[in-house]
Structure 1
């Protein structure tokens, strides 16, 4: 299976948590909905297109920034300075899977895009360090059955996570590993009622730090040995 792999850099970024009111808190990585939004913008999509997305990455540090926030209530507008959490020097690895013709269109659109890209807020600019297609294979991980890693037959005794990553809870078969729980927005549909509120599809996920070891289950690895955990189920599986 071939997927599109993006190596991205952001000098600063804020991936705002939806219910952070008094302080603008940020997720440690962009949620699936943020990446979905970027993909659909690049493709000029007018309706939801299903893609498989895996998100992982690192940041150097978190710092605080003050920004003016506007509040709209009926006919009045008020503003106040609010503390905003920002990530510094963000490096992201994003894998995108799906219909291969759509992936090729996305690849070409990224190469020829005629305006700046952002991820998170509009001012959170993105630099594309690399974009390419990579081959992905499914591996069985079992620390009990496999004593020596056998890459030729896609069998591993364990896999050490290289960088922090989102993993859907229903996908993670190694129940010993723990992470920070997030209910991440994935995509939305407009409410049929007149209020036009968005109805979000959400995914219960773990944010798992670098260094944790997966000792059981099935995983996807690309040709560089990087781990993938997709946000969508295909044929009843996330991988």
Structure 2
């Protein structure tokens, strides 16, 4: 068992889109923010100018989904303006303007655990969320987040549970796929309300986490691309970890879904 400190944050958002990178005509959203989105928010709130390694646990729920129209601008590199083709002229280049649809989550609640590798940063991160220097957003820049609670908690990693522990009612979570494959997670409930072991009932995602810049050009003409590290996860709701299983939780018996590390 390892004891560490974590920052637990509860926040709420009215309407939000966590865009799936492969969606275009309909800007689809993930059910919860990917790891990279949360990591980016933490670094922005703290004013970090370099990457600070951290582990993130993401849980939450939303009331419903709606579709909303937005203005989309399209242009092709080097395409000259043509009056019959383009709606806008920018310099000598043409830009098309039209409408597209974005999928939005409604009335979203999030429960985040932030576990920095450098434990000396715990107080600094907590302070950045308790007294933000600018309005916090998560997702699009306009997706304002209302912070409801910030608490520094003790995190017990790889501890043997003495009782069954479940997520909040109705909550979903991103679970490392390896934990699901090793049978650490219980999915769903039996009809009589007793938690029971079932097959994995969730959606599998490869979620972006961190990246490194790769030069695919030359030293004289660099072309930098982000090479993303991705985490294999399941998204599922109404999940538990049973007694006698080894997993992670905080001091208030809130499950923490970070990758298990063997002693």
TM-score band, normalised by shorter chain: 0.7 to 0.9
Could you tell me how far apart the structure 1 residues matched to 2:131 and 2:165 are? 37
Residue correspondence of structure 1 range 1-239 to structure 2 within 5 A: 1-75=4-78, 76-98=94-116, 99-137=118-156, 138-140=158-160, 154-156=161-163, 158-162=164-168, 163-172=171-180, 173-174=182-183, 176-193=199-216, 194-210=222-238, 212-215=239-242, 217-230=245-258, 236-237=261-262
> 1:168 touches 1:203 (CA, 8 Å); kept in 2?
yes
Tell me what 1:144 maps to. Answer: none
**How far 1:69 moved relative to its partner?**
1.4
- The alignment's TM-score, normalised by the length of structure 1, stands at 0.85
> 1:60 touches 1:87 (CA, 8 Å); kept in 2?
yes
Could you tell me how far apart the structure 2 residues matched to 1:53 and 1:202 are? 13
Q: Superposition RMSD on alpha carbons, in Å?
A: 2.0
- The alignment's TM-score, normalised by the length of structure 2, stands at 0.78
**How far 1:171 moved relative to its partner?**
2.8
Unaligned runs of 5+ residues in structure 2 are 79-93, 185-198, 217-221
Q: Any idea what the Cα deviations from partners look like across 1:1-36, whole Å, max 9, x if unmatched? A: 221100111111100000101110000000000001
Q: Any idea what the Cα deviations from partners look like across 1:32-62, whole Å, max 9, x if unmatched? A: 0000100111222222211110000011110
| Farther-moved stretch of structure 1 (110-119 vs 178-187) | 110-119
Could you tell me how far apart the structure 1 residues matched to 2:107 and 2:165 are? 26
Q: Any idea what the Cα deviations from partners look like across 1:51-110, whole Å, max 9, x if unmatched? A: 110000011110110111122311342222111100111110000112221121111222
Give the secondary structure class of the aligned counterpart of 1:29.
Answer: coil
Aligned residue-pair number: 220
Unaligned runs of 5+ residues in structure 1 are 141-153
Tell me what 1:149 maps to. Answer: none
Give the secondary structure class of the aligned counterpart of 1:35.
Answer: helix
Report which of the two structures shows the higher radius of gyration computed on alpha carbons: 2
> 1:59 touches 1:88 (CA, 8 Å); kept in 2?
yes
Give the secondary structure class of the aligned counterpart of 1:18.
Answer: coil
Give the secondary structure class of the aligned counterpart of 2:224.
Answer: coil
| Farther-moved stretch of structure 1 (116-125 vs 102-111) | 102-111
Give the secondary structure class of the aligned counterpart of 1:47.
Answer: coil
